[in-house]
Each structure stands twice: as structure tokens, then as C-alpha cells.
Amino acid sequence: MKAPLAGRVALVTGASSGIGRATAEAFVRAGAHVALLARRVEPLEAAAAALGEQALPVAADVGDPVSVRRAFEVVSARFGHLDVLVNNAAVGRLDAVAQASDEDLRLQVETNFLGAVHCIRCATPLLESRRGLIVNVSSDSVARPYPGLVVYAATKGALEVLTLGLRRELRDRGIRVGLVRAGPTATEFAREWDPERARGAFARWRAEGDLDPERVVSPELVASAILAWVCEPTSDLVEVG
Ligand SMILES: NC(=O)c1ccc[n+]([C@@H]2O[C@H](COP(=O)([O-])OP(=O)(O)OC[C@H]3O[C@@H](n4cnc5c(N)ncnc54)[C@H](OP(=O)(O)O)[C@@H]3O)[C@@H](O)[C@H]2O)c1
């Protein structure tokens, strides 16, 4: 049987770990060539090396429009077009809104919301000629913002509004825009959180019904939902986990 993504080119942001890395792997297994984009060079190159010659590591910061333009120039020079963009890169800083630092506020908005916008801007001309697809990775916290992650959830809310509007703006250019809303997933997402504060937050989320440890899913499960949408982009919203 022909691999479902044979001959297709995808770019996955936030591909040095977690859901992004698992998505790049699922796409490569499905036959695609995949550009893996993230900031940390070492894990990024390790992820790409593990996937072999179908994978191209591209170090870039989605929050920096100049860095994103350079990354897309590399992808365009290598492949000439793009079939799928997955906007997955994001950061979550654990803090109450009232105490959030200027730096953490800016980082989350620039990465989670503007980062997707920067990538979409550069990807559109490459996707257009291929009737391409954009997948935006959101979070169940949009429907239920966890205390301590409210700014993060709001950036995902903005990403969802962006998705709704883009569907109409890009329809005439033949580009479809999907939305995958993940629930709690076992990744490195909390790796920079202060351990004591993180313990307190997890205890509160469990007590208040935000988080059921039994329902934490694997990044591979989310990746398989993303792959399934790319293979059959019919639904407007995919919820996983
Ligand atoms: N884990 C969960 O429970 C959960 C639940 C719902 C939704 N999500 C969403 O799933 C997506 C993936 O998160 P994850 O759970 O897999 O966490 P993760 O393992 O921390 O992955 C996040 C990825 O984003 C990259 N990244 C962060 N800032 C970046 C920037 N400025 N430019 C480029 N890449 C950047 C990171 O790589 P570098 O640090 O190397 O740049 C990393 O590869 C995110 O959109 C997240 O909001 C996660």
C-alpha cells in the first residue's frame, strides 16, 4: 500500500520534543519529507537524525519574525513547496496573572500566538500551489483555563480565533486550516516550572477536577490524531486526550 503522505512536504514547529517530535516521526513514517523546527539545536538534530534522510532540522525561534523568514527560506530552497504546516511550538509559564513577569507574558504571546502567525505568513505562498493544510495545536485549557496557566490558555484562545478567521481568508487560496485540541499529555511541557510550585498547581488542578492523572495521554496519540486529520481533513475540530 502507498504511504499516505508519500511525496508530501511538511513543516512541524516545536519538533525537538513532545507532540511535535512525535508528529514529525508519524509524518516521516507516513512517507513525508519533514522540516523539524525548534530553538534547541541539540535535541532538534537528534530528533532529525533519528528519522533519517526524510527529516531536515531547521533551528529557529517562531517568536522572531526574522528567524522564521530565514527558516522558510531554507525549507523553500530545499523542497520548493510545502503541503502541511503544523503550528505546534508553545510555552506555558506557571504563574497567576497578577504576578506574571513582563518577560513571561511576552514570551507566551510571542511564541504561542504570534509564532503561529509568523509561520502562517511565510508558509502561505508555499502552501498555495499545493492546496496545502495548516494544523494549529491548541489545548483543552481553552475551555477550562487552569489557574496558573490562564495567560497560556488565553494565547491558545487567540490561536483558535485566528484559526476560525484564517479558514475564511485562505479558503479561496485552496488552503484548509485544522484545529487539534489536546488534553493533558506526557511531554516536557512543564520542564522549566519550579518543582514546588508545580506540585502545588497539580494538587489544585486534581482537587478542582481540571486534571485526571488517569487521562494523561501520550504525545504519540496526539500525533496520530494530527496525522489522521492531515490524511482526511474533514472535521473542523479534533479533540484528543
Ligand atoms: N503537554 C500537554 O499537556 C499539552 C496539552 C495541550 C496542548 N499542548 C500543546 O502541545 C504543543 C506541544 O507541546 P508539548 O506538550 O509537546 O511540550 P514540549 O515537549 O515542551 O514541546 C514544545 C516544543 O515547542 C518548542 N518551542 C518552544 N518555544 C519555541 C520557539 N520560540 N520557537 C520554536 N520552537 C519553540 C520546543 O523546542 P525548543 O525549546 O527547542 O525551542 C519544543 O520542541 C504545544 O502547542 C502545547 O501548548 C500540550
Q: State pLDDT tens for residues 213-227.
A: 999 999 999 999 999
pLDDT of residue 18: 98
Q: At residue 47, does pLDDT exceed 90? A: yes
Q: Cell for 221? A: 496519540
What pLDDT is attached to residue 110? Answer: 98
In 3-state terms, what secondary structure has residue 39? coil
The CATH number of residue 201's host domain is 3.40.50.720
The domain containing residue 205 runs over which residues?
A: 9-240
The answer to whether position 144 is within a domain reads yes
pLDDT interval class at 2 (50, 70, 90): confident
User: Which residue's CA is the closest to the ligand 1 atom numbered 44?
Assistant: 90
Is 2 part of a structural domain of the chain? Answer: no
How many structural domains is the chain composed of? 1
Average pLDDT rounded to a whole number, residues 51-70:
98
| In-domain check, residue 3 | no
| Percent of the chain topping pLDDT 90 | 99
How far does residue 152's CA lie from ligand 1's centre (Å)?
Answer: 12
The ligand 1 atom at the shortest distance from the C-alpha of residue 182 is 6
Question: Stretch 114-123: mean pLDDT, rounded?
Answer: 99
Which atom in ligand 1 lies closest to the alpha carbon of residue 190? 20
Query: Which residues are tagged catalytic?
Result: 152
- Per-residue pLDDT of 9-44, as tens digits, reads 999 999 999 999 999 999 999 999 999 999 999 999
Backbone angles phi, psi at 63, to 5 degrees: -75, -10
Name the residue of 12, 23, 67, 88 to mutate for ligand 1: max ligand atoms within 8 A of Cβ.
88
18-29 vs 219-231: helix axis angle to the nearest 10?
50
Q: Is the dihedral of CA 112, 141, 229, 179 positive or negative?
A: negative
Q: What is the mean pLDDT of residues 52-67?
A: 98
Exposure letters 174-202 (e unless 16+ CB within 10 A, then b): ebbbbbbbbbbbebebeeebeeeeeeebb
Q: Which three cell numbers stand for residue 15?
A: 519538533
Beta-carbon contacts of residue 203 (< 8 Å; ≥ 6 apart):
none
Residues 196-214 pLDDT 10s: 999 999 999 999 999 999 9
Report if residue 4 sits inside a domain.
no
Q: Answer yes or no: are the C-beta atoms of 38 and 89 closer than 8 Å.
A: yes
Ligand 1-lining residues (CB < 6 angstroms): 13-20, 38-40, 61-63, 88-91, 111, 115, 137, 139, 182, 184-185, 187-189, 219
Domain membership flag for residue 191: yes
Q: Which three cell numbers stand for residue 189?
A: 511541557
Determine the Cα–Cα distance for residues 155 and 63; give it in Å rounded to an integer.
Answer: 13
| Helix 150-171, helix 115-128: angle, nearest 10 | 20
Q: Could you tell me the distance, in angstroms and rounded to a whole number, from the CA of residue 127 to the centre of ligand 1?
A: 23
Q: Whose CA is nearest to atom 1 of ligand 1?
A: 185
Is residue 113, in this structure, part of any structural domain at all? yes
Q: Is residue 127 part of a domain?
A: yes
- Nearest CA among 95, 175, 183, 92 for reference residue 135: 175
Pocket test of ligand 1: the residue of 11, 12, 16, 94 to mutate, having most ligand atoms within 8 Å of its CB, is 16
Calculate the alpha carbon distances from 233 to 9, 12, 80, 81, 178 in Å. 16, 17, 23, 19, 7
Domain assignment present for residue 180? The answer is: yes
